[in-house]
A = this chain, B = another copy of it.
Amino acid sequence: MSSIVLGMGNGALMFGDADVSDVPDSDLIELVDPETVNINAFDLSVLRGDGIFEATTAWKGFPVSLEIHLRRLVRSARLMDMPEPNVAAITRGVQAVMNAYDDPEPGPMLRIIVSRGLDVSTGVGKAAAAEGKTAPTIFIFEDGKGTLHTPDPITMASMTRGYPSDITARAPWLLNGAKTLSYAFNCAVHRECDRRGVGDAVLFTEDGYTLECPNSTIVGRYGSMLVTPDPRIGILDGTTQREMFSWALQEGQQAVYKKLPIEELRDADRLYMVHGGWVIPVKELDGKAYECDPAEIAAINDAIHSGRTHDDALSIGPTGDYEF
């Protein structure tokens, strides 16, 4: 039984604009043994965290929000000055990986990992480049045996990200808004959460505006209105959050992007942490309790997992001008 499927993609075909419609799967992606070594030590993912990724849930074979994730991968590549991902080729690779998965677990993790390729400042990378091998490294995995999302309510603390709210406009080299492999900070925030005895964190700017969680988006409910921080402040453009907004609009509710003071977030009626194809209720933020409605959470997750929100989510996003 294949519970963990790992495919090493063909970087030369999965970036750029080659027409891959006649390319067989076997030339696009090679399934390899996930338990053994399969990456070179001089790859920029290993040495520098110099790459990008996307992660979602494949719910009963449906890769939740895949198109939105791949659009964000394209955006991350642009922010990182990397070659443009070939969305058609990567989609084929995702499908090939999913075809090989046959564990009973209905909601395995699905992840797409990209690095800039071998480090050309090392001897191994330089030799590869001399032979014209400079394509990004890409691999895709589906994993039914790792830690999976649950909709159990979580507790949360807020922490500073250390930046002012206008930094993204002034310092694009900070890569704010790109989903990079340099996740040591994000991991450190989760260890800080462990120390404080909370489940996760929401980050804010030095001047008090809400950003995001280390690996998810925050959404607040105020009556029948959902609110999330406008990603133009320099955070990831939420994927599952757009599915959730799509659900809200389908239900006749409102969904708003804004520059959101952390104080205003704390004043929400309900809070949701949103990522990887799942909406998770927040039962406490900075010691304040919030109401959670398991029926609501189940309804939203069902709508997202069934694909009901997929098409509408594609056109959701912040509009108008943004003032830093």
Contact = CB atoms under 8 A, between A and B. Distances in A.
A123 B139 contact: no
Interface string A27-51: 0000000111111111111111111
A174 interface: yes
A47 B179 CA distance: 12
Interface string A168-199: 00111111001011111111110110000000
Contact of A35 (B124, B182, B184): B124
A111 B22 CA distance: 43
A6 interface: yes
B175 A146 contact: no
A146 B159 contact: no
A251 interface: no
A43 B47 CA distance: 12
Contact of A41 (B39, B41, B42, B51): B39
A206 B185 CA distance: 20
Contacts of A145: 122-124, 126-127
A184 B189 contact: no
Interface in A102-147: 109, 113, 119, 121-127, 139, 141, 143-147
A3 interface: yes
14 contacts: A4-B122, A34-B123, A37-B39, A41-B141, A47-B181, A48-B187, A80-B184, A81-B188, A121-B146, A122-B147, A124-B143, A164-B206, A173-B191, A174-B185
Interface of A: 3-4, 6, 34-51, 53, 80-81, 109, 113, 119, 121-127, 139, 141, 143-147, 159-160, 162-164, 167, 170-175, 178, 180-189, 191-192, 206
